[in-house]
Amino acid sequence: GDDDDGDFGVKLDVRPKTKRPPLYKVLILNDDYTPMEFVVHVLERFFGMTHAQAFELMLTVHKKGVAVAGVFSHEIAETKVAQVMDFAQRHQHPLQCTMEKE
């Protein structure tokens, strides 16, 4: 209202504002050519999954077209995508991996 108190309406900082950094989903995409065992190996190797977890996620991708392999900070997600894309290319498989903001 008026400025009898002389504060000019400037809001006081009450809570410390510590915004958490955004997280990114790393997605594995289906294709018609990459062998199922290769995808399972990728999920074990780069996402720390057990064989059973990796097999289950691979089947989800195979049936639904895409699944989330993990959720990471921007830098870690970028690294995972690069590692998977490089590994797939080196083995001449068309497997695609990408990331998106959660």
Give the interface with ligand TYC as residue ranges (CB under 6 A). Answer: 28-32, 34-36, 39, 58, 61-62, 95
User: Cβ of residue 69: shortest distance to ligand TYC, in angstroms?
Assistant: 9
| HSE of 24, CA atoms in CB hemisphere, 13 A | 15
Identify which of residues 25 and 62 has a Cβ nearer to ligand TYC in the complex: 62
Q: CA 94, CA 35: separation in Å to the nearest integer? A: 10
Q: Would you say 26 or 95 has its CB closer to ligand TYC? A: 95
Least distance from ligand TYC to the Cβ atom of residue 94, Å: 8
CB of 27 vs ligand TYC, minimal distance in Å: 9
Q: Please identify, using beta-carbon distances, which residue of 39 and 49 lies nearer to ligand TYC.
A: 39
The answer to whether the CB of 30 falls within 8 A of the CB of 65 is yes
CA 70 – CA 98 distance, rounded (Å): 11
Check: CB of residue 100 under 8 Å from CB of residue 27.
yes
Q: Which is nearer to ligand TYC, 26 or 58 (CB)?
A: 58
Q: What is residue 26's DSSP assignment? A: E
